[in-house]
């Protein structure tokens, strides 16, 4: 086999545990150094040494009340009827120095937090005293130590206050300050060099030439590195060129403590990466792939001077999952912390297949149904960035498990600590009115909107997968909106709530250069249209209008649409239709007036439609759904919605207009 044609052979696939053991037994992974920081700059840093207190806290016997410092024995026997008389010899404020000595029969006024004067051993609260000039009447006795916090009772000089390897946050910095430290020794943040590989990659911000896509992994991995408290060093994109690869990896090794590569899906690039990674040794490559799906292309190498290079899979969500299971434990050792991945229990929404002898990782999206959290497995290996958008974390299916079934309990490792499951799912037809409504929802509502068209929304409601679905589906026979579909599709578990009216029409470039004024004009040979996805209400509307035209012309609908240039060019949202027209990718499309207005395009009205909301009955008492409905019915929302071009608000907005007879 020639050098050029050589394919990488994945032998010795390791489990993640074996891979980590091999890494840790080959290289000593430990903190990469220490530095001194001011405590105010220590947020999130990790202590590099044990902290012993050099002082007592409090450093002196401290009054915990406003009152009078006394010798307790002087007050014995005092009560309401038999006050004891003492002579006031001073007044001690917090922070006072030069304290008076309290002799028998004497007292001094004292503030909360002030130091107890010599001679005194207790404080009488001001409520139980009466002062007349220099004379104090004490109406209650105190015991020695009463209302006094004694020196060192909180932290003793010499006590271990914080351990090495503690992460410094609000509480820890309080302890450092309390024992008087202004500077603290922390571990240096490991520098992590990040390289993306692939001839097809272009850096975001640059122009895409044909066949190219934007580099994503540099940025997702960089943020993942930051989330661990390490410091990313972006090395850029390396193409399929041995010298470029060699130079970049050499440079990365010299400026960082750990090198991460990603991409290289093509066999040629993988070959080349392997060659360069073996050159940096001995030992060179120590791991040739993981027994994990996805994760087979994972490669780990060690340089001559003991630095690690980890090659991650190319697809963004795969790279993030392998980062979590392989790179996080390495960075945790470099920072002397632990990987405290947050996990959430959920039920699987649909069956997920195992990977026959390999461990399977699935990105999952989480939905808080109000009756527990449900996890939707997403396709990990599609490379789709929408996977990244909807994945809250991932699940693991062990090597020995054939599949997990719908309803099975799973543990979801979250991608970020800060995650909270969305509690209002809006799946269905895209609408600009909804785009307006979402940000007006109260703070506790965490909405997630997924645009799948009206039919997709209808199915999601029927399966109980969404809280709300926006629909605008016109019945071919009656011209009635939405209700006929609830009946026809037998949606027994939901109600239909009145939404609002939207003006649909043809969206054409400003000035309407192709002179498109009716549905018939879409048949003109020089007009290319942009269509909506199947299941979209707007697609239904166009098809109904085209069926009219077909019957008038006496041709079959199927034959008619074949004559329309772009009928099969489908996009998912109104704004995407408008964008396609605005950018000259189409001469016309059907959509709502507001989308045309957004892009400054011309609009030829075709009529008004009803955009309503289907809501599963068991969600009507969910707080987020109540908040949604309240907002829908509110004057503020109505007022703002009516300002949108092509929107009309009916009087009964937000009322239930249909309920199944069950």
Question: In the range 82-101, which residues lie near a second copy by CB under 8 A?
Answer: 93-97, 99
As measured in angstroms, the least distance from the Cβ of 587 to a second copy is 16
The nearest distance, CB 97 to a second copy, in angstroms, is 5
Nearer to a second copy by Cβ, of 92 and 560: the residue is 92
**Does residue 656 touch a second copy according to CB under 8 A?**
no
Q: How far is the CB of 222 from a second copy (least distance, A)?
A: 6
Binding residue (CB under 8 A) for a second copy from 22, 131, 164, 524? 164
In the complex with a second copy, which residue's Cβ is closer, 44 or 105?
44
183 near a second copy (CB under 8 A): yes
> SS3 for 220?
helix
Q: Which residue has the tokens 């024995």?
A: 73
Spatial distance between the Cα atoms of 66 and 379, rounded to a whole number of angstroms: 66
Of residues 520 through 549, those in contact with a second copy by CB under 8 A are none
| 304-343 residues near a second copy, rule: CB under 8 A | 316, 320, 329, 332, 338-340
| Site residues (CB under 8 A) for a second copy, limited to 195-214 | 198-201, 203-206, 208-214
- Identify the bridge partners of residue 138 per DSSP, sorted by sequence position: 84, 129
Footprint of a second copy on 20-49 (CB under 8 A): 39-40, 42-44
The closest alpha carbon to 301, from 657, 27, 78, 16, belongs to: 27
Cα 139 from Cα 84, distance rounded (Å): 7
352: its two tokens: 């997920």
Closer to a second copy by CB, 119 or 616: give it.
119
- Residue 216 as a binder of a second copy (CB under 8 A): the answer is yes
DSSP 233-284: EEEEEE-S-HHHHHHHHHHHHHH-SEEEEEE--SHHHHHHHHHHHHHT-SSE
Q: How far is the CB of 272 from a second copy (least distance, A)?
A: 13
Beta bridge partners of 308: 258, 302
**Residue ranges in 608-637 that form contacts with a second copy under rule CB under 8 A:** none
Name residues contacting a second copy, limited to 487-516 (CB under 8 A).
none
Question: How many angstroms separate the CA atoms of 640 and 624, rounded?
Answer: 21
Mark the segment that binds a second copy (CB under 8 A) among 151-159, 453-461, 466-474, 479-487. 151-159
> Min. distance of Cβ 85 from a second copy in angstroms?
22
CB of residue 264 vs a second copy: minimum separation in angstroms?
A: 10
Should residue 639 be labelled a site residue for a second copy when binding is judged by CB under 8 A?
no
How many residues of this chain bind a second copy (CB under 8 A)? 131
Q: What 3-state DSSP class applies to 621?
A: coil
Helices and strands counted in the chain (H then E): 18, 38
* Cβ distance to a second copy smaller for residue 79 or 340: 340
Residue 637 C-alpha from the chain's centroid: 28
How far apart are CB 472 and a second copy at their closest, in Å? Answer: 18
Using the rule CB under 8 A, which residue among 37, 165, 523, 617 binds a second copy? Answer: 165
571 is a site residue for a second copy (CB under 8 A): yes
Q: CA-CA distance, 340 to 328, in Å (whole number)?
A: 10
Q: What angle do CA 44, 47, 52 make, to 5 degrees?
A: 135
Quick one: which of 15, 26, 227, 565 contacts a second copy (CB under 8 A)? 227
Compute the least distance from the CB of residue 564 to a second copy, in Å. Answer: 19
* Distance in angstroms (rounded) separating the CA atoms of residues 303 and 279: 8
Residue 140 to residues 61, 66, 88, 131, 234, Cα–Cα distance (Å): 21, 15, 17, 14, 71
Only one of the segments 193-201, 287-295, 548-556, 649-657 lies at the binding site for a second copy (rule: CB under 8 A); that segment is 193-201
- Write the DSSP symbol of residue 215: -
Q: Minimum distance between the CB of residue 167 and a second copy, rounded to whole angstroms?
A: 7
**Which residues in the 110-129 window bind a second copy by CB under 8 A?**
111-115
Q: How far is 633 from 625, CA to CA, in rounded Å?
A: 12
Query: What are the structure tokens assigned to 154, written together?
Result: 């909180």
Which lies closer to a second copy via its Cβ, residue 230 or residue 494? 230
Q: Are 468 and 628 in contact (CB under 8 A)?
A: yes
Binding-site member from 133, 439, 554, 651 for a second copy (CB under 8 A): 439
Rounded CA-CA distance 463/206 in Å is: 43
Rounded Cα distance between 473 and 487, Å, is 12
Is residue 16 a contact residue for a second copy (CB under 8 A)?
A: no
**Which residue do the tokens 């470029």 mark?**
244
Q: Which of these ranges, 499-507, 544-552, 576-584, 645-653, lies near a second copy under the rule CB under 8 A?
A: 576-584
When binding is defined by CB under 8 A, the residue of 21, 386, 517, 655 that contacts a second copy is 386
Specify whether the CB–CB gap between 68 and 121 falls below 8 A: no
Q: How far is the CB of 211 from a second copy (least distance, A)?
A: 4
Residues 6+ apart with CB under 8 A from 417: 342
Residues 45-74 as x/- pattern, contact with a second copy by CB under 8 A: -----x-x-xx-xxxx-x-x-x--------
177 scored as a contact of a second copy (CB under 8 A): yes
| Phi and psi, residue 262, nearest 5° | -150, 160
Tokens of 558: 């199927």
Burial status of residue 483 (CB atoms within 10 A of its CB: 0-12, 13-18, 19 or more): middle
User: CB 494 → a second copy: shortest distance, Å?
Assistant: 25
* Residue selected from 6, 101, 169, 371 as contacting a second copy according to rule CB under 8 A: 169
Residue 451 binds a second copy, judged by CB under 8 A: yes
Listed ranges 78-86, 216-224, 298-306, 607-615: which one lies at the site for a second copy (CB under 8 A): 216-224
């Amino acid at each position: 086999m020639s050098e050029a044609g050589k394919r990488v052979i994945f032998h010795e696939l390791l489990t993640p545990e074996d891979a980590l053991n091999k890494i840790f037994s080959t290289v000593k992974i430990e903190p990469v150094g220490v530095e001194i920081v001011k405590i105010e700059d220590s947020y999130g840093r990790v202590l590099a040494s044990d902290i012993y207190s050099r002082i007592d806290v409090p450093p002196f016997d401290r009054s915990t009340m406003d009152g009078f410092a006394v010798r307790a024995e002087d007050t014995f026997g005092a009560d309401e009827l038999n006050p004891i008389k003492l002579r006031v010899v001073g007044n001690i404020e917090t922070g006072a120095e030069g304290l008076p000595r309290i002799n028998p029969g004497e007292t001094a006024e004292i503030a909360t937090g002030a130091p107890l004067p010599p001679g005194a051993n207790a404080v009488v609260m001001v409520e139980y005293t009466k002062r007349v000039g220099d004379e104090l009447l004490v109406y209650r006795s105190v015991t020695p130590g009463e209302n006094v916090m004694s020196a060192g009772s909180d932290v003793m000089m010499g006590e271990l206050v914080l351990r090495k390897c503690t992460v410094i946050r609000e509480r820890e910095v309080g302890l450092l300050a309390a024992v008087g430290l202004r500077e603290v020794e922390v571990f240096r943040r490991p520098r992590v060099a990040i390289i993306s590989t692939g001839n097809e990659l272009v850096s975001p911000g640059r122009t895409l030439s044909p066949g190219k896509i934007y580099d994503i992994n540099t940025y997702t991995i960089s943020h993942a590195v930051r989330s661990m408290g390490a410091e990313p060093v972006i090395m850029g994109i390396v193409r399929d060129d041995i010298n470029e690869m060699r130079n970049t990896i050499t440079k990365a090794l010299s400026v960082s403590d750990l090198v991460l590569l990603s991409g290289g899906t093509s066999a040629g690039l993988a070959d080349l990466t392997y060659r360069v990674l073996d050159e940096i040794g001995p030992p060179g490559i120590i791991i040739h792939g993981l027994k994990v799906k996805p994760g087979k292309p994972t490669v780990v190498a060690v340089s001559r001077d003991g630095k690690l290079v980890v090659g991650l899979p190319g697809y963004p969500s795969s790279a993030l999952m392998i980062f979590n299971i392989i790179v996080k434990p390495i960075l945790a050792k470099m920072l002397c912390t632990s990987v405290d991945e947050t996990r959430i229990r959920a039920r699987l929404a649909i069956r997920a297949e195992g990977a026959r002898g390999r461990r399977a990782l699935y990105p999952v999206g989480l939905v808080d149904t109000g009756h527990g959290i449900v996890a939707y497995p997403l396709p990990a290996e599609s490379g789709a960035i929408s996977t990244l958008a909807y994945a809250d974390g991932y699940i693991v299916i062990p090597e020995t498990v054939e599949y997990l079934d719908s309803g099975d309990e799973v543990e979801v490792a979250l991608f970020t600590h800060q995650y909270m499951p969305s509690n209002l799912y809006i799946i269905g037809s895209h609408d600009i009115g909804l785009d307006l409504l979402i940000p007006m929802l109260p703070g506790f509502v965490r909405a997630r909107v997924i645009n799948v068209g009206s039919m997709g929304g209808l199915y999601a409601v029927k399966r109980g997968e969404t809280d709300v679905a926006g629909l605008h589906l016109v019945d071919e026979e009656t011209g009635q909106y939405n209700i006929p579909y609830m009946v026809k599709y037998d949606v027994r578990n939901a109600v239909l709530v009145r939404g609002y009216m939207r003006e649909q029409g043809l969206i054409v470039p400003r000035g309407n250069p192709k002179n498109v004024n009716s549905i018939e004009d879409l048949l003109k040979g020089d007009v290319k249209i942009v269509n909506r996805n199947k299941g979209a209400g707007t697609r239904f509307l166009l098809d109904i209008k085209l069926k009219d035209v077909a019957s008038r012309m006496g041709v079959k609908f199927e034959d008619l649409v074949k004559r329309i240039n772009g009928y099969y060019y489908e996009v998912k949202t109104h704004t995407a239709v408008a964008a396609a027209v605005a950018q000259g990718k189409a001469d016309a499309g059907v959509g709502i007036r507001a989308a045309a207005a957004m892009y400054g395009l011309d609009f030829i009205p075709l009529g008004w439609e009803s955009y309503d909301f289907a809501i599963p009955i068991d969600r009507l008492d969910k707080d987020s759904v109540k908040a949604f409905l309240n907002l829908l019915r509110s004057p503020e929302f109505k007022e703002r919605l009516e300002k949108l071009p092509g929107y009309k608000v009916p009087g009964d907005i937000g009322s239930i207009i249909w309920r199944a007879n069950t």
